[in-house]
Amino acid sequence: MIFIKNRHEIKMMRRAGQLAARLLDYIGPFVKEGVSTQYLNDLCETYTRKHGARSAPLQYNGFPKSICTSINDVVCHGIPSETDILKDGDIVNIDLTVNLDGYHGDTSKTFLIGDVSPEIRKLVERTEEALMIGIRSVRPGGYFSDIGLAIERYIKRFGYSIVKEYGGHGIGRRFHEEPMVYHHFTTENRITLKKGMIFTIEPMIIMGNNDAVFVSAEDNWTVRTVDGSPSAQFEHTVLVTSEGAEILTKTQETEMR
Ligand code: MF3
Ligand code: CO
Ligand code: CO
């Protein structure tokens, strides 16, 4: 069941999206060489509470922390830790989801730590571009599979791989709603996009031609590339409008009401 959000729900989702966007802006300057991912987790938790919201990942299916921090070959769901210290040349995805008055905003970004090699920097830039291309492919009357098709057409030329086991998702009162949004073309996503649908687009792109990933047996969360290749990810929560897509997790200049 894919929900069509009503006016009230859209208003609440805009607020939640705004808070998630501001949280990502807030944490950015702290994402530096020498800091632990636990420190970033704690800053996010405090900011989220201060703004009257809850960190949605905390205790979601038993996830132990408030945010996901995924370094280098970690594809997603990295668990913040006191012993994970960001170092020069790393890339780290910070994935934030807030629950504000019962509605969710979900966004993520991959940060560069210090001097990142040019080829890895390109991976990160192109992954962000893949997200934007996916967003621009959204139009009411189109298909969810248009998103994967557009991203795949763009990404393939670089010899990168698209993660297939994890995807975007409907979002609203629930953190993860139907449907799963694939970032490669699949007929499974031949589902019509309708005005009022809200979902995330969050491509995970791996350098090289091996798209295989595995879940760490130690913590049952951390997803890594099998060959150790770096992986980048960016995420926005979007609303289908009559024109195309409105990004709910983009920082707005105007006051929140
Ligand atoms: N924020 C992730 C997403 O984009 C999900 C994290 S689930 C958690 O869907 F349990 F790891 F927090
Ligand atoms: Co997320
Ligand atoms: Co998400």
Convert the pLDDT of each residue in 133-148 to its tens digit.
999 999 999 999 999 9
**Ligand 1 closest atom vs CA 60:** 10
Amino acid type, 5:
K
For residue 237, which ligand has an atom nearest its CA? Answer: 3
* Six token digits for residue 212: 């295989």
Tell me the pTM.
Answer: 0.98
Contact call for residues 220 and 211 (beta carbons, < 8 A): no
Domain extent listing, the chain: 7-256
Ligand 1 contact via 63 beta carbon (within 6 Å):
yes
Mean of pLDDT values over 4-15: 98
Give residue-wise pLDDT tens across range 195-235: 999 999 999 999 999 999 999 999 999 999 999 999 999 99
Q: Provide the residue count of the chain.
A: 257
Per cent of the chain over pLDDT 70 is 99
Angstrom distance (rounded) from CA 21 to CA 237: 10
Ligand 2 centroid, distance to 132 Cα (angstroms): 16
Ligand 1 contact via 177 beta carbon (within 6 Å):
no
CA 217 to chain centre: 23
Give residue-wise pLDDT tens across range 45-84: 999 999 999 999 999 999 999 999 999 999 999 999 999 9
In whole angstroms, how large is the CA radius of gyration of the chain?
Answer: 17
For residue 166, which ligand has an atom nearest its CA? Answer: 1
Contact call for residues 91 and 71 (beta carbons, < 8 A): yes
Ligand 1 centroid, distance to 101 Cα (angstroms): 19
Contact call for residues 184 and 162 (beta carbons, < 8 A): yes
Q: Categorize the per-residue pLDDT at 254 as very low, low, confident or very high, splitting at 50, 70 and 90.
A: confident
pLDDT at residue 19 tops 80: yes
Element at 147 (helix H, strand E): helix 145-156
> Whose CA is closest to 74, among 180, 244, 232?
232
* Six token digits for residue 28: 């950015």
Give residue-wise pLDDT tens across range 227-246: 999 999 999 999 999 999 99
Strands (E), the chain: 54-55, 68-71, 74-76, 91-100, 103-112, 161-162, 168-170, 177-181, 198-201, 204-206, 213-215, 223-225, 231-233, 236-240, 245-247
* Six token digits for residue 40: 């970033």
**What homologous superfamily does CATH list for 7-256?**
Creatinase/methionine aminopeptidase superfamily (3.90.230.10)
Per cent of the chain over pLDDT 90 is 98
**Ligand 1 closest atom vs CA 97:** 1
- Residue 108: the pLDDT is 99
Ligand 2 centroid, distance to 68 Cα (angstroms): 8
Residue at token pair 């830790």: 81
**Ligand 1 closest atom vs CA 175:** 9
> Does a cis peptide bond (omega within 30 degrees of 0) precede residue 80?
no
DSSP state of 30: G
